[in-house]
Amino acid sequence: MARKPSPQMEAPSNISKDELLKYYRDMLLIRRFEEKAGQLYGMGLIGGFCHLYIGQEAVVVGLEACAKDGDKRITSYRDHGHMLACGMEARGVMAELTGREGGYSRGKGGSMHMFSREKHFYGGHGIVAAQVPLGAGLAFADKYLGNDNVTFTYFGDGAANQGQVYETYNMAELWDLPVVFVIENNQYAMGTSVKRSTKSTTFFGRGEAFGIPGEQVDGMDVLAVKAAGEKAVAHCRAGKGPYILEIMTYRYRGHSMSDPAKYRTREEVQKMRDERDPIENVRELLLQGSHASEEELKALDKEIKDIVNDSAEFAKESPEPALDQLWTDIYADELPQGSAEENA
């Protein structure tokens, strides 16, 4: 689709071509991956709940650009984008979606429950807002151990109305925990719009009650997300405690695959896609600034498509977990302890 370049879209001079290309690539990977996941769901290859991240790509890609090795991340059940953005393999994520042995949790977690020790990705949590104190706990561990790691704790505008978020804010600030609370405000908690769930609609401001600084960020602009992320991370690394980023974003798809999406108009979604799409925005920057040609971007598109198709093939080919897997991973490395039936 031909888009008129908007006048305000101009890459800041301190952003390199490579950087822009990386954001474009990472966001596109998430977009195409999620489209494929939606397709596999429709084919019955993915079961249960499947929450797509389409539209919100700039949030994780912008924040991952601020992370260093050792930093941790944790999120809700809408987690595929976070995993891809932190460098987890598309194959392993897709194969987990199809419930196969090649998945990150060897098929035992599913779309909502995936983890990677190696990439410091701590899930994938299915209980709305449970990841918030858990994320503060990860940060607690880093502070306890005396390193300068930061934890990105993602949750949505829906989770922001859970009580445990505020218990966590209180303790995180009390103990100066190095945690960035990232509220991905996509404006709908399942089918309930922000306006129908609270009169206090600026979520970052709720941190004030606990002394936590925060700000609202344009989540459709990956560069704005990155700039805000750097500020937040610097605050945490300096030992000043938590920081809140309320990132205004939008999910194009339903809450889950079985969402008829009658709570908003088709036009609202289309308008967002046409005018604010985070990937198109970067594409424009790349073309406008002559950082990349149409051909280069086409080649990149193909490369991404190949990765996604490969992941889908892998996810179909990978076998289901062996039946004895039912009984493993219930308890970690048992200490030798008598003959009692540990798992009975």
Partner 1 sequence: MATEILMPALSPTMEEGTLAKWLKKEGDEVKSGDIIAEIETDKATMEFEAVDEGILGKILIAEGTQGVAVNTPIAVLVEEGESADDVQAEKAPAQVASPSTKEGPDDKGQPGESAVEQVRTPEPDRSPDWPEGTKMKTMTVREALREAMAEEMERDETVFLMGEEVGEYQGAYKISQGLLDKFGPRRVVDTPISEMGFAGIGTGAALAGLRPIVEFMTFNFAMQGIDHIINSAAKTLYMSGGQMGCPIVFRGPNGAAARVGAQHSQDYSAWYSAIPGLKVVMPYSAADAKGLMKQAIRDPNPVIFLENEILYGRSFEVPDLEDFTIPFGKARIARSGSDVTIVSFGIGMAHALEAADKLAGEGIEAEVIDLRTLRPLDYDSILASVKKTNRLVTVEEGFPVGSIGNHISAWVMENAFDYLDAPVINCTGKDVPMPYAANLEKHALITPDEVVEAVKKVTYK
Site for partner 1 in 175-214 (CB under 8 A): 175
Helix, strand or coil for residue 332? coil
Closest approach, Cβ 294 to partner 1, in A, equals: 18
Range list of H helices, 3-148: 17-42, 57-64, 80-85, 90-97, 131-145
Choose between 62 and 133: whose C-beta lies nearer to partner 1. 133
Q: Is 72 in the site for partner 1 (CB under 8 A)?
A: yes
Classify residue 170 as exposed, middle or buried by CB count within 10 Å of its CB (0-12, 13-18, 19+): middle
Q: Which of residues 25-44 bind partner 1 (CB under 8 A)?
A: 35, 38-39, 41-44
DSSP 343: T
What mask, x for binding partner 1 by CB under 8 A, covers residues 264 to 303?
Answer: --x------x------------------------------
Range in contact with partner 1 (rule: CB under 8 A) among 197-205, 213-221, 303-311, 315-323: 315-323
CB 187, CB 214: distance < 8 Å: no
Which residues 110-149 are close enough to bind partner 1 by CB under 8 A? 113-117, 122-127, 130, 132-142, 144-145
Sites for partner 1 among residues 87-116 (CB under 8 A) = 98-99, 103-109, 113-116
Contact 51, 75 (CB under 8 A): no
Write down the least CB distance from residue 64 to partner 1, Å.
19
Nearer to partner 1, 12 or 323 (CB): 323
Kindly determine how many residues on this chain lie close enough to bind partner 1 according to the rule CB under 8 A.
82
CA 108 to chain centre: 20
Minimum separation from the CB atom of position 83 to partner 1 (A): 12
Residue 255 Cβ vs partner 1, minimum distance, rounded to whole Å: 12
Whether the CB-CB separation of 210 and 173 falls below 8 Å is answered with yes
**Cα torsion 16, 18, 23, 28: sign:** positive
Quickly tell me which residue has 């290309």 as its tokens.
21
Q: Which of 179, 223 has the CB closer to partner 1?
A: 179
Q: Which is nearer to partner 1, 65 or 114 (CB)?
A: 114
Q: Tell me whether residue 124 or residue 229 sits nearer to partner 1 (CB atom).
A: 124
Radius of gyration of the chain measured on its C-alpha atoms: 20
CB of 184 to partner 1, least distance (A): 19
Q: Are 184 and 59 in contact (CB under 8 A)?
A: yes
> Min. distance of Cβ 107 from partner 1 in angstroms?
8
The pair of three-digit structure tokens given for residue 148, joined into one six-digit string: 């300068």
Closer residue to partner 1 in complex, CB, 80/291: 80
Q: Does 323 bind partner 1 (CB under 8 A)?
A: yes
Residue 242 Cβ vs partner 1, minimum distance, rounded to whole Å? 12
Q: CA 45, CA 95: separation in Å to the nearest integer?
A: 10
State which of residues 4, 195, 199, 262 lies at the interface with partner 1 (CB under 8 A): 262
**Strand, helix or coil for residue 300:** helix
Beta bridge partners of 184: 156, 247
Note whether 307 and 90 are within 8 A (CB).
yes
Under the binding rule (CB under 8 A), the answer on residue 261 touching partner 1 is: yes
